[in-house]
Structures are given as C-alpha cells and as structure tokens.
C-alpha cells in the first residue's frame, strides 16, 4: 500500500503559498478585515477548521495502511489498535491466516469503505458551502446597509435652503455610510470565496488520496477473491441462488479449507513421527550389534579361563623342581594378570 506522502506534500505547499500570499498582502487584507470584523472572523475560523479537517482525512489513512502491511507480513499482535475504516474487514479476517473471500464479500467491504470515506468528506464539503454562504450573507448584509443609507441620504437632501458648496459637502459626508456598507459586502465576499477555494483544493487532494487507497485495496483483495463457479447461478442474475444459500456455500468452503489445512498439518506430524521411529529403530539395531559383540567377547574369555584352569591342573600334577614347570607357571601368572586387567577394564 502506498502512503499518501505526495498528497500531504502538495497540500502543505498550497497552504504555505496561501499563507505567504496573505502575509504579502497584509495591508489591503487588514483594511478589508476591519471593515466587517464579525463576518470575517467567522469566515477565518471556518477556514482554519476546514484546513484541519482535510489534513486529518489524509492522516487517518496511515493507521489503515500500517494495519494492512502488518497483515500482509503476518506481524499482527494484540497491542496494535484496530483500524477504523477497515473495522468490518478486520473482524471478518480475525483468526484467519489466509485471505480468501468471495466476490460478494469483497464488493460489500469495498462499498462499506467507500461509504465511510464519503461520510468523512461530507463535513469538508459542507464547510465549503458554509464559506460561500457566509461570503454571500456578508455581501447582502452590506448591500442592505448601503441601500438603507442611500435612501436616508436622498431623503435628507435639500437643495432649496442650501448653497451648492454646502450640498456637495453634505453629500460627501453622507456617502461615507454607503461606502462603508459596500466595504462590508465586498470584504465578506472576498474572504468567503477565497476560503472556499482553499478548502476546495484541499478537499480535492484528500479525495485523490482516499480514492488511491480504495483502488489499491481493491487490487489487493481481488488477488485473493474466490470467483463463483457458476453452477448455481451467476452473481446478481435473476436465476441466482438465494442469499442464505450463498452464505451456506461460503461457510462450507471455509470449513473445507480448514479441514484441508488440518489434514496437511496431520500429514506433517505423521511424517515426523515415522522419521523419529526410523531413527529409534536404527539406534536399537546398533545396540543389538553391541550386545552381540560383547557376548562374543565374554564367550572368548570363558574359553580362555577354562584353558587356564586345565593348564593349572596339569601343572599341579607335575613335579615342582622342574625348570619347565617354573617357566610355565610364570607364563600362566602373566596370562592370569592380563585376563584380570582386561576384565577390570571391561567392568569399569
């Protein structure tokens, strides 16, 4: 998902340009503002609120984009706050590892998100109308004051008792009221129309960012949508299946997918168990080979002991003074020590 960084950049640049233009034209704007402080103050307050709302509409897309990125990377946790615009989709996908949904569900989710985005922009559009309305209201208010002042001026004029110079001075003094009313009218129109222009441009940029978010979300959901096979009927046709039948089929498909995942998990566990049993069998075979080898060694030692006993018996019957017998006894002692050392080594 693309973050609306470019949109925020354009909105910020436009707002800075408007602020710089206001600073450069501070003198004429101050005169226009002081001509009708009440109406112009209300217009400026509505303008600031409209700018903040449009920036908020773009910034509220960041948590939704972060949530989608974490879901795609399977890194969601309980500490992450639930999204607001995608709350219905978050509840639908809760506990599911794979994103698989029907085209009907995808269309329902997208329509819900579009409706919420349109609702969030209603206030901004209303503020644009409010700015235009305040400008026109100030205009008519100033014109009404101008007309009433001009009427009073005409009624008070008298050419019979005054000279021409006095009439001209009286006229010049009396025209201050109508001119003040015209200043109220034109200053309110100026601030109202300029404010509607600023809020309208920011609302346009916010709408572009929201449309891009919905389009990218639709592309992501389309890659995981399950298209109807058309056995029961095409979606939206008069011969299609009832809504409860489609819901039942979707539930059945979800149950089959869960069973398939469970079967794959059982197969993996079975393969692991067979592998472990094979390793245990190989260990037992090696243990049996070692036992067989030990038994053969013990048999050889038993035969050696039998031969020694027989030799000892034979030598005990012979004479003790023979030199050959002495040599045989020394050899037998050496052999006995060797066997004893071997047995002690085996025992340890």
Question: Which residue range forms the structural domain that includes residue 273?
Answer: 243-347
Helix (H, G, I), strand (E, B) or coil at 102: strand
Question: Does 165 lie in the same domain as 216?
Answer: yes
- Write out the two tokens for 92: 């639908």
What gap in Å lies between CA 1 and CA 214, rounded to an integer? 10
Task: Say if residue 188 is in the same domain as residue 82.
Answer: yes
Specify the pLDDT at position 241: 47
Q: What is the pLDDT of residue 238?
A: 39
Question: Would you write out the chain's pLDDT as a tens digit for each of its 348 residues?
Answer: 778 888 899 999 999 999 999 899 888 888 778 877 888 889 999 999 999 999 999 998 888 888 877 777 776 665 666 777 777 777 776 655 556 666 777 787 788 888 888 888 888 889 999 999 888 888 777 777 666 665 555 555 555 555 556 555 655 555 555 555 565 667 788 888 899 999 999 999 999 998 888 888 888 877 765 554 444 444 444 344 455 556 666 667 667 777 777 777 777 788 888 888 888 888 888 888 888 887 888 888 777 777 777 777 776 665 555 556 677 777 777 777 777 777 676 655
Residues 186 and 129 in one domain: yes
Q: Is residue 248 part of a domain?
A: yes
Is residue 237 in a domain? no
Residues 32 and 181 in one domain: yes
Q: Cα 118 from chain centroid?
A: 21
The strand pair at 225-226 and 101-102 is best described as parallel
205 and 180, same domain (yes or no): yes
- The domain boundary, picked from 192, 226, 260, lies at 226
**The pLDDT of residue 226:** 57
Domain end residue (candidates: 193, 226, 259)? 226
Q: Do the beta carbons of residue 214 and residue 113 sit within 8 Å? A: yes
The separation between the first and the last C-alpha atoms of the chain, rounded to the nearest angstrom, is: 70
Pair (171, 312) in one structural domain = no
Same domain, 214 and 265: no
Element (H, E) at 226: strand 225-226
> Cβ of 53: how many Cβ atoms within 10 Å?
19
pLDDT value of position 88: 73
Are 188 and 263 in the same domain? no
Q: Could you tell me if 50 and 151 lie in one domain?
A: yes
C-alpha–C-alpha distance, residues 139 and 40, integer Å: 11
Residue 238: inside a domain: no
Residue 235 placed within a domain: no
Residues 72 and 198 in one domain: yes
pTM, to two decimals? 0.58
- Could you say which of 161, 192, 226 is where a domain stops? 226
């Amino acid at each position: 998902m693309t973050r609306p960084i470019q949109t925020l950049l354009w909105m910020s640049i436009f707002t800075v340009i408007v602020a710089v233009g206001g600073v450069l034209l501070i003198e004429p704007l101050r005169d226009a503002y002081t001509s009708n402080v009440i109406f112009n103050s209300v217009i400026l307050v509505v303008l600031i609120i409209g700018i903040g709302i449009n920036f908020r509409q773009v910034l509220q897309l960041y948590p939704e984009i972060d949530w989608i990125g974490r879901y795609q990377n399977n890194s969601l946790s309980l500490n992450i706050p639930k999204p607001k615009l995608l709350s219905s989709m978050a509840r639908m996908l809760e506990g599911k590892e794979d994103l698989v949904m029907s085209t009907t569900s995808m269309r329902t989710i997208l329509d819900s998100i579009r409706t919420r985005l349109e609702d969030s922009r209603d206030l901004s559009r209303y503020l644009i109308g409010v700015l235009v309305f305040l400008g026109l209201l100030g205009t008519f208010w100033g014109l009404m004051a101008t007309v009433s002042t001009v009427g009073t001026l005409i009624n008070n004029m008298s050419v019979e008792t005054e000279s021409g110079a006095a009439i001209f001075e009286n006229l010049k003094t009396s025209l201050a009221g109508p001119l003040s009313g015209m200043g109220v009218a034109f200053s309110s129109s100026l601030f109202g129309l300029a404010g509607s222009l600023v809020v309208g441009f920011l609302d346009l940029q916010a709408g572009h960012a929201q449309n891009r978010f919905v389009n990218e979300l639709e592309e992501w959901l389309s890659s995981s949508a399950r298209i109807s096979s058309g056995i029961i009927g095409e979606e939206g046709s008069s011969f299609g299946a009832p809504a409860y039948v489609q819901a039942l089929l979707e539930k059945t498909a979800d149950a089959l997918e869960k069973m398939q995942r469970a079967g794959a998990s059982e197969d993996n566990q079975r393969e692991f168990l067979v592998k472990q049993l094979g390793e245990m069998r190989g260990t037992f075979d090696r243990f049996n080979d070692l036992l067989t080898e030990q038994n053969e060694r013990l048999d050889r030692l038993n035969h050696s002991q039998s031969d020694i006993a027989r030799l000892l018996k034979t030598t005990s019957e012979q004479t003790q003074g023979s030199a050959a017998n002495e040599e045989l006894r020394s050899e037998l002692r050496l052999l006995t020590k060797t066997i004893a050392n071997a047995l002690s080594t085996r025992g340890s």
